[in-house]
Structure 1
């Protein structure tokens, strides 16, 4: 039985930086980690990659050959990967004996709540390779500073959870930078617990640009509350306690904590994470 994480989230949410920091942390607590890059547009990897989709297909080649834009090209690449799932299986099998897997997926959100290709890839791997995976959905914490953007993030998280049908952990990433975007309207607990969204509707209603969408906003908030599925944990990728707490949640989600693996006995308090590339972390679009 092999455990791992499906790392997803919108562009700029810190997925690649997360995979880099998480792989360091897990290695230091005694787990053998393999990072699998399934983003054909990610050609500036800060981590050592065990499997790279660019060995199978490159987004730049697809865009040129088929006259597609980035979004259409990524959908094509995921479709191509699904049709060539045997290639990915053959690359993963040598890692199944003793590795913990981190899958770094593209940031195109449509792949995870609209199209079925990415989901089909994950489900085939789970079935054929007996994987135990949890989805880690990263959302940039700065969205909390704007009620409209935060509601959008809630809907995206809910849609992704329902579509993927995996154990799911929603994460507000870059929480260490949240103060740089201004004072929040409510305490941080309000944004992580996702309760009493009526207060958020009132805050949004004070914006004259959003006043005419008040009824729509209420209906969207009601949808999120009716499902009662979405909540968030926070993450500062350079804080060992923050990363350690997230690892504990993920271990419960994918079942790792229930497996008889000695690595789980290592104390997180003894771990130090090497600094990540802050420039990449803050401004991923420049790379």
Structure 2
């Protein structure tokens, strides 16, 4: 029988680990077997047990402390992920060969891992070779989506990940409970957005004409891809 992998993606602070923790509790209450793999070499703690932890292979702090490498936090994380991609045998051994597994992969938040670097694409291809059926969940903090140009930025990040990885993907706005009633009402229009209205909103809030022109061009692009990128709450 096939195994199932869900890549939990999104910017830092968007609630990926909280999502994993909540899903584990929910599925365990339904007597469903579920596991979590941590793929963030800079993670500090979890509210759930992990079946595999990339920090057992390599950690960002160790890389940053290596005087021969001299990486900062971002460069150190990229180095860790590239090292991980060259050592998929560690992941294969950690996952084992139990059939009908459903595994959440708590991924790092650096967007360049999905748009500029091949690491996550290589992971998807490797999981598929191991007969996993792979899907993705892309989380965005709703508190940063209440303005049109920030919403557009979030949509572009989600679309970039989906196009790069070529897997089914669900996009979720998180932390809705932290929004004010006014903000909740405002954000409803982004669940089924009218990009032409957003262009007008952007024109009213963005003073730079060059920025307005860029935002308008991006709105036109996003409007063509909205059937691909929609958000759930």
User: Given the two structures, how large is their TM-score scaled by the length of structure 2?
Assistant: 0.92
Contact 1:204 1:210 in 2 (8 A): no
Distance in 2 (CA, whole Å) between partners of 1:4 and 1:208 is 41
Structure 1 residues without counterparts, runs of 5 or longer: 235-287
Equivalent residue runs for 1:199-210 within 5 Å: 199-210=197-208
Tell me which residue corresponds to 1:85: 88
Equivalent residue runs for 1:147-158 within 5 Å: 147-158=148-159
CA deviations 1:50-82 (Å, max 9, x no partner) are 100011001100112121111111111111111
Structure 1 residue 227: Cα displacement: 2.7
Tell me which residue corresponds to 2:78: 75
Structure 1 consecutive aligned stretches of length 4 or more whose deviation exceeds 6 Å: none
Structure 2 residues without counterparts, runs of 5 or longer: none
Contact 1:14 1:173 in 2 (8 A): yes
Tell me which residue corresponds to 2:63: 62
SS in 2 for 1:220: helix
Tell me which residue corresponds to 2:221: 223
Distance in 2 (CA, whole Å) between partners of 1:74 and 1:20 is 23
Contact 1:27 1:33 in 2 (8 A): yes
Distance in 2 (CA, whole Å) between partners of 1:208 and 1:3 is 44
SS in 1 for 2:34: strand
User: Given the two structures, how large is their TM-score scaled by the length of structure 1?
Assistant: 0.76
Structure 1 residue 211: Cα displacement: 4.6
Contact 2:36 2:103 in 1 (8 A): yes
Aligned residue pairs, count? 229
Contact 1:144 1:184 in 2 (8 A): no
Distance in 1 (CA, whole Å) between partners of 2:65 and 2:207 is 40
Structure 1 residue 179: Cα displacement: 1.9
Higher helix share: 1
SS in 1 for 2:108: coil
Tell me which residue corresponds to 1:105: 107
Contact 1:171 1:233 in 2 (8 A): yes
SS in 1 for 2:183: coil
RMSD: 1.7
Distance in 2 (CA, whole Å) between partners of 1:76 and 1:15 is 21
Contact 1:145 1:185 in 2 (8 A): no
1:9 matches 2:45 = no
Contact 2:136 2:169 in 1 (8 A): yes
Contact 1:81 1:121 in 2 (8 A): no
1:47 matches 2:57 = no
